[in-house]
């Protein structure tokens, strides 16, 4: 039972490079999310999706783009990486609910931008 | 708007002693409240959740939390700490009447357990 799988687990980028983080879930969840985790700040929502083909901005969307072409996948793109995007990125998924359903998290992607 | 304050960034206990991790919340709507745990280099795992049923919620690994509306608190406790409890703990709030699972995270409390 894989749950939520993130690829890659680690990456080092140079400033200005681009990359895509892949999130895959096998639980048939409607909702998917991308968060970033920075020391002393908890997790902050970057973008989210409430279904295939739909995406929306979260709390800190600048510098990121997302796509949800398939229900099971949610991609996070950095078009031109900046040192401020050095962080640990978490993908999560959940079923629809009135704020009371559990979100399942991947193991994270540690990204360093130099 | 929702917010969460975790009152301690670090808590140190000895193995076998009680654990108390404090969380206060603010929410415009009736909230759902969660505690998640993150072990080093791992993803987040749900410990327990409050969704307006019983105010005392029992979770995994012997943890429990009590929802106190009058104090806007949702503190996490465990009677006896184990070395494997050393991790970071996040208190999370979500408004209950939204169709979207909008989670707001606290800044985390790192639990250190000494032998």
pLDDT digits 0-9 by tens, B15-32: 999 999 999 999 877 788
- State yes or no: pLDDT of A57 exceeds 90: yes
Alpha-helix residue ranges (DSSP H) falling in chain B: none
Most A-contacting residue of B8, B101, B103, B104 (CB-CB within 10 A), to test interface:
B101
> End-to-end alpha-carbon separation of chain B, Å?
41
Are B30 and B69 spatial neighbours (Cβ–Cβ below 8 Å)? Answer: no
Of A41, A50, A92, the CB nearest to B100: A50
State the nearest Cα–Cα gap between B74 and chain A, in angstroms.
Answer: 15
State the nearest Cα–Cα gap between B90 and chain A, in angstroms.
Answer: 8
Tally of CB atoms within 10 A around A83: 10
Cα A101 to Cα B96: distance, rounded to the nearest angstrom:
10
CA dihedral B21, B27, B30, B36 (to 10 degrees): -30
Predicted local confidence at residue A61, as pLDDT:
96
**Mean pLDDT over the full length of chain A:** 93
Cα B21 to Cα A95: distance, rounded to the nearest angstrom:
28
pLDDT in tens, B61-108: 999 999 998 999 999 999 999 999 999 999 998 876 655 567 889 999
């Amino acid at each position: 039972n894989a749950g939520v799988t993130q690829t890659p687990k680690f990456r080092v980028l140079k400033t200005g490079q681009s990359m895509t983080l892949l999130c895959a879930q096998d639980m048939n969840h409607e909702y998917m999310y991308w968060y970033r985790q920075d020391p002393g700040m908890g997790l902050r929502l970057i973008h989210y999706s409430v279904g295939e083909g739909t995406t929306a901005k979260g709390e800190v969307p600048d510098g990121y783009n997302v796509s949800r072409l398939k229900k099971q996948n949610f991609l996070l793109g950095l078009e031109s990486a900046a040192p401020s995007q050095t962080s640990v990125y978490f993908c999560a998924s959940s079923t629809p609910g009135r704020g009371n359903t559990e979100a399942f998290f991947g193991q994270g992607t540690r990204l360093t931008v130099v | 708007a929702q917010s969460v304050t975790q009152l301690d960034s670090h808590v140190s206990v000895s193995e076998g002693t009680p654990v108390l991790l404090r969380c206060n919340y603010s929410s415009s709507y009736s909230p759902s409240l969660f505690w998640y745990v993150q072990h080093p280099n791992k993803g987040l795992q749900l410990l327990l959740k409050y969704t307006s049923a019983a105010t005392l919620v029992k979770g995994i690994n012997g943890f429990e939390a009590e929802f106190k509306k009058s104090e806007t608190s949702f503190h996490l406790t465990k009677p006896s700490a184990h070395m494997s409890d050393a991790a970071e703990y996040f208190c999370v709030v979500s408004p209950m009447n939204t169709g979207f699972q909008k989670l707001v995270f606290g800044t985390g409390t790192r639990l250190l357990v000494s032998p």
